Amino acid sequence: GENVEQHPSTLSVQEGDSAVIKCTYSDSASNYFPWYKQELGKRPQLIIDIRSNVGEKKDQRIAVTLNKTAKHFSLHITETQPEDSAVYFCAASPTGTASKLTFGTGTRLQVTL
Amino acid sequence: DSGVTQTPKHLITATGQRVTLRCSPRSGDLSVYWYQQSLDQGLQFLIQYYNGEERAKGNILERFSAQQFPDLHSELNLSSLELGDSALYFCASSTAGGPREQFFGPGTRLTVL
């Protein structure tokens, strides 16, 4: 089955700096890669996603890049703000109607003033 | 608010007992997914239903079972509970079965004493 590894497990940046979180996946059949943000005690919420036919996607301060050959994808957050502090999860899902998400282990991002 | 509802919010029970967690997907969503989130295991996929039929299974224990009813709500049954079953249980829904955004409910926090 799919295995998703995520690094780093914790990340502390100063407000205004950039943050990068990296994930690798094992199953070449995976073709959908979402990123979820989870605040303490809350539900995971999708912040951006990318499909395997796209190499990069951007939404304001957030961008995701995908390297299918190397089986890795990354989340980039620019101009970080205190409200970006949360746990971020990458995930991978295969094609087809059995679209279970395999999650990485999460990155706790702390944005300090 | 994602539109996915889960009841109850909190559940405290004893080892050996049986509980039922309930999920109502967003209006129009045909797929329902169940995930378990514990401190040491992260977010783990349990099972997916699509329009009443089981579509994918993850590392779901034999003591756990689920079903999706004709009105598309779903129930997760956990029996012979053990201390290690204490976790947050999330339900998510999506419009169809293929890889696409999954909307998470607020979760049910299960504590087994």
pLDDT tens digits along B41-99? 789 999 999 999 999 899 899 999 999 999 999 999 999 999 999 999 999 999 876 77
Write phi, then psi, for B112 (nearest 5 degrees): -110, 120
Q: Shortest Cα distance from A84 to chain B (angstroms)? A: 19
Query: Which of the two residues, A12 and B39, has the higher pLDDT score?
Result: A12
User: Which residues of B are less than 8 Å from A91 in CB distance?
Assistant: 43
State the pLDDT at residue B97. 65
| Contact flag B33-A106 (C-beta cutoff 8 Å) | no
Distance of residue B29 Cα from the nearest chain A Cα, in angstroms = 14
Report, in angstroms and rounded to the nearest whole number, the Rg of chain A calculated over CA atoms. 14
Q: Does A42 touch chain B if contact means CB atoms closer than 8 Å?
A: yes
- Separation CA A93–CA B8 (nearest Å): 29
Determine the pLDDT at residue B39. 79
Cα separation, A98 vs B57, in Å, equals 9
Measured between beta carbons, the chain B residues lying within 8 angstroms of A36 are: 104
d(CA B16, CA B45): 23
| Nearest-angstrom CA–CA distance, A97 and B86 | 30
Strand partners, A102: A92
Tokens at A90, concatenated: 């990458």
Mapping DSSP to helix (H, G, I), strand (E, B) and coil, where does residue B83 land?
helix
Is A44 close to B42, i.e. CB distance below 8 A?
A: no
Instruction: Report CB contact under 8 Å: B43, A103.
Output: yes
Higher-confidence position of B81 and A40: B81
CA distance B17 to chain A (A): 25
Nearest-by-Cβ selection for B33 from A34, A100, A104: A100
CA angle A73, B32, A40 (to 5 degrees): 60
Collapsing DSSP states into helix, strand and coil, what is residue A76?
strand
- Is the pLDDT assigned to residue A96 strictly greater than 80? no
Distance from C-alpha of A88 to C-alpha of B48, rounded to nearest angstrom: 23
Q: What is the mean pLDDT of residues B2-11?
A: 95
Strands (E), A39-85: 45-51, 56-59, 62-67, 72-77
Confidence of residue A90 (pLDDT cuts 50, 70, 90): very high
Indicate the length of chain A as a whole number: 113
Task: Give the burial string for A23-61 (b: 16+ CB within 10 Å, else e).
Answer: bbbeeeebbbbbbbbbeeeebbebbbbbebeeeeeeeee
Q: Which residue of B has its CA nearest to A1?
A: B58
Across the interface, do A99 and B58 touch by the CB < 8 Å criterion? no
Cβ-based contacts of A46 with chain B (< 8 Å) = 101-103
In the A/B pair of chains, how many CB contacts fall below 8 A?
A: 70
Closest CA relative to residue B31, chosen from A21, A71, A99? A99
pLDDT score, position B26: 96
Residues of A in contact with B107 (CB under 8 A): 43
